[in-house]
Structure 1
Amino acid sequence: MSTSDRGDTPKKSLADSQTAAARRGPGGPGRFMGGQGAEKSLDFKNSAKRLIGMLRPERPLLLGVLTLGVLSIGLAVTGPRVLGNATDLIFAGVVGRQTPAGMDKAQVLEGLRQTDRGGVADLLGAVDFVPGQGMDFGAIGTVLFWALLLYVGSAVFGILQGRLAATAINRAVYRLREDVEAKLSRLPLSYFDKQPRGEVLSRVTNDIDNIGQSMQQTMGQVVNSLLTIVGVLAMMFWISPLLALIALISVPVSVVVATKVGKRAQPQFIAQWKTTGTLNAHIEEMYTGHALVKVFGRQQEAAETFRQENEALFASSFKAQFISGIIQPAMMLIGNLNYVLVAVVGGLRVASGALSIGDVQAFIQYSRQFSQPLTQVASMANLVQSGVASAERVFELLDAPEQSAEPLAPERPEVLRGLVSFDGVSFRYDPEKPLIDDLSLKVEPGHTVAIVGPTGAGKTTLVNLLMRFYETTGGRITLDGVDIAAMSREELRAGIGMVLQDTWLFGGTIADNIAYGAEGASRKAVVEAAKAAHVDRFVRTLPDGYDTVIDDEGAGVSAGEKQLITIARAFLAQPSILVLDEATSSVDTRTEVLIQRAMARLRTGRTSFVIAHRLSTIRDADVILVMEDGSIVEQGSHDELIAAKGAYARLYAAQFSQAVAEID
C-alpha cells in the first residue's frame, strides 16, 4: 500500500478497521504491539464492587434468589436434626428391648449404678426409652417421611433459585455486551490505531464470556454457602454451644489460608487473560495476513512467536490454577481436623450423658456441612479472581476516552450543496509533532479536488478530518457554512460517500454488499448501481449471480472485483460529497478507464475529493492540491501546475519520465 504510513492513516471508520492488522504487519504481537498499554495490577476490590454493581437492576430477581436460598438451606439444615431424632428412636427401641419390662427408666438407671455401671447409666440417661418396649416403627417412619419432605423441598427450592440466578446473571451479561458494543461505536479511531484487533476481540468475546461463566458458577454457590454457614452454625449452637465453639476454630484458620493463597494467585490470573488477548491478536493477524506470511517466508518466525505466546499463556494459566487449587485441599485438611476434634469431644459428651447419640450424629453432620461451604467458597477463589481479572479488562475498555460528545442541538445545512471550507485547520496525532498546520481551503459545490503528494504528506488525514474520524486541534471545517463540529456525526457522514483503497466486504451476498450503501435499496436499484460501476458484467458470469455468497475476506472474487463492488455501493448511496482514496488502485488498466468514466458521471454535480498517486487519473480535476508535510504547497489545474514546474511537475515527471532522482 502506498499510503500506509502515519501521515495517511487511519483510513477508515470502525467498520473498516481490519486494515489495522495489515498496517502492523504479519510479524506478530511480539514485534507490532507497541501500542498496547502496560500491564497493571488488578484492583480487585473496586473491580469486584463494580462487577457486583452490574446486578443492581436485577434486585427483584436477586431478592427471589436470596429468599429461595433461605428456604432451600433452611430445609436442608433441618434435615440432620430430624434424622438425629430417628437415630434416637432406633437407639431407644434397642435399649428398651434389652431392659426388663415392668420397670421405669429411673429404676433401670438406678440398677445400673448399683452394679458399678454408672458410665452406662450416664450414657442411657439421655435416651428416652421405655423398658421392655422395642422400636416404634410408626414413629420412625413418620420422622423419616418428614426428613424426605425436607430434602425434596430443599431440592425444589434450590432448582428454582438456580433458574432465577441464571436469569439475573445472563441479563447482566447481556447488558454488558450491549454497553461494550455501544462503547465501541463511541471510541475514536485513534483507540483502534493503538490496539491490536485480536486484543479488542478478546475483551469483547473471551473476557465477557469468562465473566458470565464465573458469575454463573459462583454467585448462587456463594449465596448458598453463606446461608449454609449461618444456618448450620445456628443449629450447632442449639445442639451444643461447646461443640459449636470448637467447630468455629476452623473459621479464622480457613480465612487466613484462603487470603494468603488468593493474593499469590491474583497476579497470575491477570497475566493469564492478558496473555490470552495477546495470543488472540497474534493468531488473528496471522490468519488475516497468511498470504503475506508465506510470501515473505515468515512462517517459522510466526510459529516461533506463537510458541512463545503459547508458553507464556501456559505458564500463567498453570500458576494461576495451581496456586488457587491449593486452597481446596488445604481447606479439606482443616475441615478434617475439625471433624476429628468434634467427633472426639462429642463422643465424650455422649459418654457423660450430656448429649444423645442422635444429637452427636446430627452435630457431626453439621460439622461436615459447616466445613464444606468454607471449602467451596475458598475453592471458588480461582473462578472469582479469573472473573474479576476479565472484568477489569472489560472495564478498562468501557472507561477508555471517547470521542467528543455530539452537540445537544445539532445544526445542519438548509440545503446540502457541498461547499466545503477548511479555515486555518491544524491537526497532530502526537502533541509534539504537528502534521497539518494552518491549512485553509475552499471547495466549491460540484468541483472535483484532487489531492496528491508524497506518502505521509497528510492526504488521507485531510479527508478523515472532514469525516470527523478525528477532531481538528485548531481551526474549523464548514459544510455549506455550518461548522461540522456543530453537526451530528451521523448527519455529516450521511451526505458523504467514501471509496477506499482498502476494500471492505462482509459475509453475505454480492447484492447485500452493494445494498449496504443505501438502507432499503431495491434489487432494481442495486442492479443499476452495479451496471454503472461495471460490476454487472462479471456478476453475470457467477453461478448464483447477485446471490453469490462471499465472506468478509471477499473469497471468490478478485481484488479488482472487490473494489468494483465497493464503488457500486457508493453509486447506490448517491452522496452529496464523494471521497475517493486511491479507489482504482486495484483494477486493471482497461477497467480503470471504465471506472474513470463512471466516476466522471458519479461526480457530476457533486463535490469530490480524490486522493491519488497515479496522476493520470486526476488530470481532469478542477483543482489539484499538492501537499507536503501537512501543508498545501501548490494548487491549480493540471496544465497550470505543469507550467509552474514545481512540486507537481516533478511528481508528474517522476511517474512518466522515470526521473527517479527528482522524487526527493
Structure 2
Amino acid sequence: MPPGGPSWTTMEKPKSLWGTLAALLRYIGEYRWHIIAGIVFSLVSSAALLIAPQYLAVMTDGISDGISSGTADLALIGGAGAVLVLLYVMSMVFSTLQNYVVPRASELNGDAMRRDLSKKAFRIPLRALDRMSTGNVMSLFTNDTDTIRTQSAECICDTVTALTMMVGSVVMMMLTNSTLAIVSIIPVAAGFAVMLTIIKRSQGYFVAQARSLGQMNALVEELYYGMDIVNTYNDGERAMARFEEINESLYRSAFRTRFATGLMPRVMDLVSNLGYVLVCVFGSMMIL
C-alpha cells in the first residue's frame, strides 16, 4: 500500500448532468445580482455591436452617393458617424463593466467554495479519507475548485453573449439580404457539425488527462512525504516504474487534448474563409 493510502482517482460522471448544473446554479445564486448585471451589460454591449453595421452602411452609402453626384450629404454622414462612435464606445464601456462584475462574482464564489470545502473536510469520516490518496484529495481541493471558480460565472455570461451575437447576426443578415445570409449560414452550420464531432470524440481525452493528472499529483505527494518508507523498503524501482507509467499516460492524453483544442480554431478559420468566398461569388453573381 502506498504511504498515503490507496490511489483513488477514478473519474466519475455525475448521476444527473442537469441536476449537477442546477445545484451549481443554486450554489452561486448568492451572487446572482452580479451575474444578472453581467448578463445585462453583455446584452447591451452585444446589441450595440449588432446595430453599428447599419450606421456604417448609411455612411458608406452616403459617401458613395456623394462621389456619384458630386455633392455629399455631410450632415447625414456626420450624424451616422457620430452614432457609430457612440455605439462602439457604449459597447466598450458595458463590456468593461461586465469584465469587472463577472470576475468579481467568480472570485466571491471561489472564496465561499473554499471555505465550505474546508468545513466539509472536518466532517468527512476517517474511513472515507483512508480510501483516498493525499495527492488526489489535494488535486480535488485545488485544481477542480479553481476550474469551477474561473469558469462558473464566466460561462454563463459568455453563453448569453454568444447566443445574442449569433441570433442577432442572423436576424440582421436576413434583414439585409436573405440570399447572402443563407449562403453565409450554410458553411457555419457545417463547421458547427464538424466541431461537435471533434468535441464528442475528444471528450474522453480530457477525462483521461484529468485522471492522469490526479494520479500524478497523488503519486508525487505520497513519494515526497513517504520517501523514508520508500528507501527503507527499497521500493524506488517500483515507484519509478509507476511514475513512468502515469507520466506516459499523461503525455498521451495531454497531447491529444492540445491537438483537439488547436484543431477547432483551424476548422473555424476554414469555415470563415469558405463563407467569405461564397459570399463574394454569390454577391458578384447577383450584381452581374
Task: State TM-score, norm by structure 2.
Answer: 0.87
Structure 1 residue 288 displacement after superposition: 0.7
Query: What is aligned with 2:276?
Result: 339
**CA distance, structure 2, for counterparts of residue 322 and residue 50 of structure 1:** 32
Query: What is aligned with 1:565?
Result: none
**CA distance, structure 1, for counterparts of residue 228 and residue 241 of structure 2:** 18
Query: What is aligned with 1:77?
Result: 50
Q: Please identify, of 260-269 and 138-147, the stretch whose mean Cα deviation from structure 2 is larger.
A: 138-147
Correspondence 1:25 to 2:25: no
Aligned residue runs from structure 1 range 522-533, under 5 A: none
Structure 1 residue 161 displacement after superposition: 1.2
Query: What is aligned with 1:486?
Result: none
Query: What is aligned with 1:179?
Result: 116
Query: What is aligned with 2:64?
Result: 91
Structure 1 residue 41 displacement after superposition: 4.9
**CA distance, structure 2, for counterparts of residue 214 and residue 315 of structure 1:** 25
User: Which digits, 9 at most, give the CA deviation of each residue in 1:50-88, with x for residues without a partner?
Assistant: 444433333322221221111111111112221111111
Q: How many residues align?
A: 287
Q: Please identify, of 140-149 and 157-166, the stretch whose mean Cα deviation from structure 2 is larger.
A: 140-149
Cα gap change, 1:275/1:267 in structure 2, threshold over 3 Å: closer, same or farther? same
Query: What is aligned with 1:58?
Result: 31
Correspondence 1:223 to 2:195: no
Could you tell me which amino acid in structure 2 is paired with residue 248 of structure 1? I
- Structure that is richer in strand per residue: 1
Could you tell me which amino acid in structure 2 is paired with residue 253 of structure 1? A
**CA distance, structure 2, for counterparts of residue 216 and residue 347 of structure 1:** 44
Unmatched 5+ stretches in structure 1: 1-22, 27-31, 98-132, 353-664
Correspondence 1:242 to 2:220: no
Report sequence identity in percent: 28
Query: What is aligned with 2:104?
Result: 167
Correspondence 1:274 to 2:211: yes
Query: What is aligned with 2:17?
Result: 45
**CA distance, structure 1, for counterparts of residue 15 and residue 59 of structure 2:** 51
Contact 1:41 1:267 in 2 (8 A): no
Q: Please identify, of 288-297 and 239-248, the stretch whose mean Cα deviation from structure 2 is larger.
A: 288-297
Could you tell me which amino acid in structure 1 is paired with residue 122 of structure 2? S
Cα gap change, 1:329/1:260 in structure 2, threshold over 3 Å: closer, same or farther? same
Contact 1:177 1:208 in 2 (8 A): yes
Could you tell me which amino acid in structure 1 is paired with residue 149 of structure 2? G
Contact 2:180 2:283 in 1 (8 A): yes
Structure 1 residue 190 displacement after superposition: 0.3
Contact 2:188 2:272 in 1 (8 A): no
Structure 1 residue 195 displacement after superposition: 0.5
Cα gap change, 1:52/1:274 in structure 2, threshold over 3 Å: closer, same or farther? farther
User: Which digits, 9 at most, give the CA deviation of each residue in 1:221-258, with x for residues without a partner?
Assistant: 33221111122222112212222233332353233222
Contact 2:50 2:165 in 1 (8 A): yes
Structure 1 residue 25 displacement after superposition: 3.1
User: Which digits, 9 at most, give the CA deviation of each residue in 1:405-456, with x for residues without a partner?
Assistant: xxxxxxxxxxxxxxxxxxxxxxxxxxxxxxxxxxxxxxxxxxxxxxxxxxxx
- Structure that is richer in helix per residue: 2
2:265 to 317, 328, 333: 328
Aligned residue runs from structure 1 range 459-608, under 5 A: none
1:149 to 75, 82, 86: 86
Structure 1 residue 136 displacement after superposition: 3.9
**CA distance, structure 2, for counterparts of residue 166 and residue 332 of structure 1:** 29
Structure 1 residue 284 displacement after superposition: 0.8
Contact 1:41 1:270 in 2 (8 A): no
Structure 1 consecutive aligned stretches of length 4 or more whose deviation exceeds 6 Å: none
Aligned residue runs from structure 1 range 97-136, under 5 A: 97=70, 133=71, 135-136=72-73
**CA distance, structure 1, for counterparts of residue 105 and residue 120 of structure 2:** 22
Query: What is aligned with 2:196?
Result: 259
**CA distance, structure 2, for counterparts of residue 143 and residue 44 of structure 1:** 51
**CA distance, structure 2, for counterparts of residue 281 and residue 165 of structure 1:** 33
Structure 1 residue 297 displacement after superposition: 4.3
**CA distance, structure 1, for counterparts of residue 90 and residue 39 of structure 2:** 16
Query: What is aligned with 1:190?
Result: 127
**CA distance, structure 1, for counterparts of residue 29 and residue 260 of structure 2:** 32
Cα gap change, 1:37/1:77 in structure 2, threshold over 3 Å: closer, same or farther? closer
Cα gap change, 1:323/1:25 in structure 2, threshold over 3 Å: closer, same or farther? same
**CA distance, structure 2, for counterparts of residue 258 and residue 184 of structure 1:** 40
Contact 1:278 1:309 in 2 (8 A): yes
Task: State TM-score, norm by structure 1.
Answer: 0.40
Unmatched 5+ stretches in structure 2: none
User: Which digits, 9 at most, give the CA deviation of each residue in 1:134-187, with x for residues without a partner?
Assistant: x34454333223211211110000011122211222233233223322322221
Which secondary structure does the structure 2 equivalent of 1:54 belong to? helix
Larger RCO: Structure 1 or Structure 2 (Cα < 8 Å, ≥ 6 residues apart)?
A: 2
Could you tell me which amino acid in structure 1 is paired with residue 63 of structure 2? I
- What CA RMSD, in Å, does the superposition of the two structures yield over aligned residues? 2.6
Which secondary structure does the structure 1 equivalent of 2:122 belong to? helix
Could you tell me which amino acid in structure 2 is paired with residue 317 of structure 1? A
**CA distance, structure 1, for counterparts of residue 17 and residue 185 of structure 2:** 27
**CA distance, structure 2, for counterparts of residue 297 and residue 310 of structure 1:** 21
Larger Rg: 1
Contact 1:198 1:281 in 2 (8 A): yes
Contact 1:162 1:220 in 2 (8 A): no
